[in-house]
A and B are shown apart, each in its own frame.
Chain A
């Protein structure tokens, strides 16, 4: 059974940094692209960043491209999101998600979510 466990969220002030982690189990981690998706309070889902299975290719939304960095350690089956220069509008639940693997960047398994709050 696929299991994704996020950690690292919390309350920070604007301009601060945070690193989210997502520990994966139940599948061959390096075979799948992994993604971070966020959801602001009361809002819809927003794609943040995706990384290839090998980690050599990544894509990020324009809203975070210059500030967030996605990475992975396949030896530890762990996905990361380094978030710098955080803004109040980054406040959201951040989910890590596993690619379905056949049709494209569709997410068949999700973590429980990790709340990031940015406020002074």
Chain B
């Protein structure tokens, strides 16, 4: 199974900050990586796929990059509605696996 490890697990930031979350796969996943946002009591929402492809309706302040085993999600200017938990998911091979999540909290 491909293990997905996110860092950090928790992040405290202020509105307007640039935030970067890292996701590392235990083997190469050829950009088969998605990012989700989840707020308490809600279902996850798709942000990006193919490592860098923004899903319809997602603000441009969200971006992704990476290759091989290492990927990042960046929020260029954190907004109040962005405080949430972010999870990566590889879809390169079954079982499809998720990172443990990164909780972005208000500083």
Contacts and interface: CB of A to CB of B under 8 A. Distances in A.
A44 interface: yes
Interface of B is mostly: loop
B100 A44 contact: yes
B7 interface: no
A104 B43 contact: no
Interface residues of B, number: 22
Interface residues of A, number: 21
Interface of A is mostly: loop
A108 to B, nearest CB: 5
A110 B91 contact: no
B44 A110 contact: yes
B72 interface: no
A101 B48 CA distance: 14
Nearest to B35: A106
Contacts of A103: 32, 49-50, 53, 91
